[in-house]
Chains A and B, each alone.
Chain A
Amino acid sequence: MIEAIRNQARLLLENGDVDVVIGYAEGSDPSRTTPIFIRKAEDVEKLIYDPRCINSLPLYLNKRHEYTRKGWKKTAIIGKGCDIRAIVQLIAENQLKRDEIYILGVPCEGVVSHPEKWDGSLHDGNRASKCIGCDVMTPHETDFFPGDKPDVDRSTPYEATSKNVATLMELELDKRFAFWRTDFDRCFKCYACREVCPHCSCNTCITDETTPSWIDPAAHKKGVFSWHLTRAMHLVGRCTGCGECTRACPMGIQVDLFNQRMKEVVQESYSYKPGYSLEDKHPLITYKVDDREDFIK
C-alpha cells in the first residue's frame, strides 16, 4: 500500500503538480513516527504508514501554522479517514480551497492511542477509542487511493464516543465537577491541545488577547477552566474527533471528553456530523428556514 502512495507522491513531485508532500516518517524512537515534509522526489522512500501514524497532519494546512507563508501553491497530504474529515471541515469553513490540496488517502485499520502503548501490533488494548466504530477507514474524499474503494454507508451518525464520556455523564454533577477540578490541577496551559488541533484557526486565540484579557492566562482554576470550556465551545459542531488534544496533553488530561460530549449534543440536536461534506456549514453558523424550532420565525 505504502509503495503505491510513494509512487504517486514521486510522480506528483516529478511533474511539479505539487510543491510538497506532507506525510509520516520514522520517528526518533521505535514506537514513534513523525510528520515529514517531502520536497524532492528521491525522498519519497522516507514515507511510511502504519498504526503508529497518530498525528493529524491537516493541522499543518491550517494557516496558523505558517502554511500560507511557506509559499506552497499546491500541497499533497497523506490522510487517514479522520484526517480527511479534518481537511473537509477546513474546506467547508473556507480555511482552505479544495484545489490547493491533493489528498493521498490511506486505508486505515485504526491507530494506537499513545505511542508508548505500541507493542508491535494493533489490538483492543491499544487501539485508540476514536477508531472503534469508525466509518472512514476507507476515506470518503481523496484524489488518490491505493486499491478499490468499497461503498460504505455513512448515513448513521458517527458513534465513536469514548465510553469515558458515558462514565462521566453518569456521575452526579458535583462529582463530575470534582473530577475536572482534580484533573485540571495538572494543567499548566502549554496549549498543546490548541496547537495540535486542525480546527483552531483564529489568527489570535481569544486566550492570547490582552486588550482586554478575556481569559486569565495564569494556570489557576479560573484561568484553566475558562480556557478549556472556551476551547470546547469554540469547537462545537466543528471538532472531527481526531483526539489529538488528549494525545498531545503532556499532563495526561483527557480534554477531548468535552469535545466528544459536545459532538453528541450536536448530533442529537441537529443530526449533523462535521467533516463529511465540503459544502455543509456547521449548525452554529447557519440557519434553516424550515428549522424544527420555531424561535427563528
Chain B
Amino acid sequence: MKTATLNKSDIGKCIDLLLQADLRVIAPRLQPQVDEDGPDALEVLTFTEVKSGEDHQVGEGLLPLNGVKEFLFAKHEPLFAYEKRGKKIEIIPVHHEYPQTVIIGVRPCDAASIASLESVFSDANAGFEDPFFTERRSRTTFITYSCTAPDSSCFCTSVELSPDSAKGSDLHLTEIGDGRLHVEVITKAGEAVAKQLQDLLEGEGDQAAREKAGAEVTEKLTRIRDSAPIMEWLMDTANFDDEMWQRLGEKCIGCGACTFVCPTCHCFDIVDENKGSKGYRVKFWDSCQFDHFTLHASGHNPRDWQYKRYRNRFNCKFKIYPEKFETPGCVGCGRCIRACPVNLDITEYMAEVAHKAANPNAMKADPDFE
C-alpha cells in the first residue's frame, strides 16, 4: 500500500486540482443561516458540491447532517417519462447525468456504509442491479478522513468499526499532528486521485503516528455497547413480542428523521407524477417509520403501532442486514440519536438486548402494557 503525507492546509489546493481536472467535488460545507449569532442558530454542516478550494470544511466539525448516501442513491429521480396518445401509452427514456465525482472529507462510518448500500442496490449474486446507483457508484471516489473528535452519540466501535477505519475508502487521510496528514492509497480509484494530487503529496507516510492517532481518538468514544449477542437474540422468534419493544418504543412519534439521516437506510417508493396525459414515474426516499409504509390495499396494516415500526428498524439493522447481505446494517455514526426529536436511542435498545441475552430468565412481558 502506498502512503504519503499531505499538509492539512493544502486540502483547499487538492480541491482546486480536482476541480481543474473537471471533477465534481463534494465536501462538508457550513450552510448560511438567517442569523449567524442568534440563540436559535445552529451550525448546519452538510455535504454539498463545492466550486472552489476556499469553500469547504473538510476535517472540521464531526459529521455533516446528511450522509454521502444522497450522492449515490438520489433523494428523488425520474425513472422514465410517459405520455398517453389516444389509447397508446408511450414510454420516453429520461437522460441522467452521472458526473465523475470525488467526495472528500468522508468519515469512516459513512465510508463503511457504502458497502451496505451496494449490497442492496447491486447484488452480484442475485444478479440484481439498480443502474442509477451503480452508474453513480462507479464514477464516485471517496477520500476519507479519520475522526479527531467523536461526540457522545458516536458508537462506531460498538459495531466493529473505528474512528480511523479505512473500510470503504479509496484514499484515506489521518491527522498525525503538526498540521500533517498521513495519506493511504487504498484502491485503484484512490491511486488515480493521488496522481492528480501528486504535486502536493510528499514522501512516505508515518504509519506509527497514524496508528497512535487512531488509538487516541478511539479512546475518546464513550458510548460503548456489546452488539455481539444482538443477532442471536433477535433470531429467537419469541423475542419478537418481548415487552421491551413497546416500553422503549412508545414515545416514538413516527417521523422518518432517523431513517433519512441514516447512511444505510435505503427504502424508496415509486409514484407517477401526472400532469394531464403525461408525466414522470419517480423514485424517491421512503421510510419504514411512516404509518402507511406497510399499509395494505385491504386496509390491514401488519405494523399497526409505532413501536412495531421501530422494532422493524432495529431488526433491519441488526438481523435482516447481516443475515441477508453480510454487510453492516448499522455503522455507529449516531445520526439517528442526534436527530431524534424525542431522544429515542438505538443504543438503549442495544444495551437492553445485551442485558436480556445475558439474563434469559428475566421478565418476558410487562402486565402493565397489556
Structural contact, B39 and A126, CB atoms closer than 8 A: yes
> For A218, what are the chain B residues with a Cβ–Cβ distance below 8 Å?
75-76, 271, 273, 282, 284
Determine whether the beta carbon of A219 is less than 8 Å from that of B343.
no
What's the Cα separation between A55 and B255 when bound, in Å?
15
**Is A51 interfacial (CB 8 A cutoff)?**
no
Is A257's CB under 8 angstroms from B34's CB? yes
Flag whether A156 is at the interface (Cβ < 8 A). Answer: no
CB neighbors of A among B94-127 (8 A): none
The reply to whether B39 and A37 form a contact with Cβ atoms under 8 Å apart is no
Identify which of A36, A252, A254 contacts B65 (C-beta below 8 A).
Answer: A252
- In chain B, positions 1-45 with a C-beta closer than 8 Å to chain A are 31-32, 34-35, 38-40, 42, 44
Contact check: which of B250, B284, B335 meets A219 at CB < 8 Å?
B284
Bitwise interface map of A from 156 to 196 toward B, beta carbon under 8 Å scored 1, else 0: 00000011100110000000000100110010111110111
Q: Which residues of B contact A28 (CB under 8 A)?
A: 337, 343, 345, 347-348
Smallest CB gap from B153: residue in A? A29
How far apart are the CA atoms of A126 and B46 in the complex, in Å?
A: 22
The answer, yes or no, to whether A261 is at the interface (CB within 8 Å) is no
The residue that B31 contacts in the complex, of A55, A217, A252, with Cβ under 8 A, is A252
Partner of B38, one of A164, A179, A190, A219: A164
* Cα separation A255 to B66 with both chains bound (whole Å): 18
Does chain A have a CB within 8 A of B198?
no
CB of A265 to closest CB in B, whole Å: 19
Q: Count chain B residues whose beta carbon lies closer than 8 angstroms to a beta carbon of A.
A: 50
Whether B65 lies near A35 (C-beta < 8 A) is no
Max chain B C-beta neighbours (<10 A), residue from A28, A39, A128, A189? A28
- A40: which B residues are within 8 A, CB to CB? 368
Which B45-86 residues have C-beta < 8 A from chain A? 46, 65-66, 70, 75-76
Interface residues of A in 101-151 (CB under 8 A from B): 113-114, 116-117, 124-129
- Tell me whether A162 and B255 are in contact in the complex, defined as CB-CB below 8 angstroms, given that A218-B273, A252-B31 are known contacts: no
Among A264-286, those with CB < 8 Å from B are none
Number of A-B pairs, beta carbon distance below 8 Å = 153
Instruction: Report the separation of the CA atoms of residues A189 and B152 in the bound assembly, to the nearest whole angstrom.
Output: 27
Identify the stretch in A74-82, A229-237, A241-249 within 8 Å (CB) of chain B at 4 or more residues. A241-249
Cα A129 to Cα B344 with chains together (Å): 25
B145 on the A face (CB < 8 A): no
> Main SS of the interface on chain B?
loop
| A217 in contact with B284 (CB, 8 Å) | yes
A195 in contact with B341 given A128-B40, A186-B31, A251-B46 (CB within 8 Å): yes
Contact of B256 among A34, A55, A190 (CB under 8 A): A190
Interface string of B280-321 (1 = CB under 8 A from A): 001011010010100000000000011000000000000000
Q: How far is the CA of A234 from the CA of B358 in the complex (A)?
A: 50
**Per-residue CB proximity of B338-370 to A under 8 Å, as 1/0?**
110111110110000000000000000000100
CB-based nearest A residue for B283: A218
> How many residues belonging to A are interface residues under a CB distance threshold of 8 Å?
65
- List residues of chain B with CB within 8 A of the CB of A216: 271, 273, 282
Which of B35, B306, B343 is the one whose CB lies under 8 Å from A27?
A: B343
B251 touches A (CB below 8 Å) = yes
Q: Which of A39, A179, A192 is in CB contact (< 8 Å) with B341?
A: A192
Is A42 part of the binding interface, using a Cβ–Cβ cutoff of 8 Å? no
Question: Which of B199-207, B209-217, B228-236, B257-265 contacts its partner?
Answer: B257-265
Residue of A nearest to B369 (CB): A39
Nearest to A32 among chain B residues (CB) is B343
Q: Cα distance A192–B254 when bound, in Å?
A: 8
B91 part of interface (Cβ distance < 8 Å): no
Q: How far is the CB of A177 from chain B (nearest CB, A)?
A: 14
Listed A/B pairs (15) with beta-carbon separation below 8 Å: A27-B345, A34-B344, A55-B341, A124-B39, A129-B40, A186-B44, A186-B65, A191-B290, A192-B255, A192-B341, A218-B284, A250-B260, A250-B338, A251-B46, A252-B65
**Interface residues of B, Cβ cutoff 8 Å to A:** 31-32, 34-35, 38-40, 42, 44, 46, 65-66, 70, 75-76, 152-153, 250-251, 253-257, 259-261, 269, 271, 273, 282, 284-285, 287, 290, 292, 305-306, 335, 337-339, 341-345, 347-348, 368
Q: Assuming A29-B337, A248-B257, A251-B65, what are 5 further A-B pairs, CB within 8 angstroms? A: A189-B285, A190-B260, A196-B341, A252-B42, A252-B44
